Amino acid sequence: MEDMEKIRNIKNIKKNLKEKSLKVKPIKNGTVIDHITKGKALKVYKVLNLNNNQTVTIAMNVSSKKNEKKDILKIEGIELSKEDVNKISLISPNATINIIKDGVVVKKFKVEIPDEIEGILKCTNPNCITQTENIIGKFKVEEKEPLKIRCKYCEKFLNAIEICR
């Protein structure tokens, strides 16, 4: 009996060590994008157009207290621009941005979908002027939940699925 208990204890210790070693190391300076919609971290990473100088950690399908699962993106050494935050809001409207300085969260806020979107997207309408001319895409947000935007040039509506393509 004692041997079985020792084996169980050893298995529990190994399990605890494995769980602790899988945790993502905190960053000293930079930005943590938390509560990204499950499965959207790579899309968020892609729209941020980061260069190869930043250390980036991507955690996907992580357990969360608020939601069942979430993604997390940690970017060393940068603070996101307002335009970057707006891009994130279109992909994952419930994301939270944490600004880290010297290992401490100095600023934390939820992303918000802006009322107007400029320069982030191009209209998908092949007849829209943004497709043929060098014109910045401009959209009016008609609905935030579910997300629905309208091109200011041709009036075409786009939904969240079309925006995230």
Amino acid at 4: M
Is residue 71 within 8 A of residue 10, CB to CB? The reply is no
Helix (H) or strand (E) holding 4, with range, is helix 2-22
Give 72-101 as a 3 state SS string.
EEEEECCCCCHHHHHHHHHHCCCCEEEEEE
Q: Residue 164: its pLDDT value, please?
A: 76
pLDDT confidence tier of residue 163, bands split at 50, 70 and 90: confident
Q: Residue 17: its pLDDT value, please?
A: 54
**In sequence order, what are the residues at sequence separation of 6 or more whose Cβ sits closer than 8 angstroms to the Cβ of residue 50?**
56, 75, 78
Minimal CA–CA distance to 83: which of 108, 120, 116? 120
Q: Is 123 annotated as a binding residue?
A: yes
Residue 14 has pLDDT above 70, yes or no: no
Taking only the tens place, the pLDDT of each residue in 86-139 is: 999 999 999 999 999 999 999 999 999 999 999 888 899 999 999 999 999 999
Q: Residue 48: its pLDDT value, please?
A: 92
Q: Residue 7: its pLDDT value, please?
A: 63
Is residue 86 within 8 A of residue 114, CB to CB? The reply is yes
pLDDT confidence tier of residue 11, bands split at 50, 70 and 90: low
Please report, for the chain, the start and end positions of each structural domain, with discontinuous segments joined by +: 26-110, 116-163
Sheet holding 138-144, edge to edge: 116-118, 138-144, 147-151, 157-159
CATH of the domain spanning 116-163: 2.30.30.20
Fold of 26-110: Alpha-Beta Plaits (3.30.70)
Which tokens sit at 152?
């200011």
Taking only the tens place, the pLDDT of each residue in 41-88 is: 999 999 998 877 889 999 999 988 765 899 999 999 999 999 999 999
Q: Residue 53: its pLDDT value, please?
A: 81
Q: Is 164 annotated as a binding residue?
A: no
Q: Residue 22: its pLDDT value, please?
A: 47
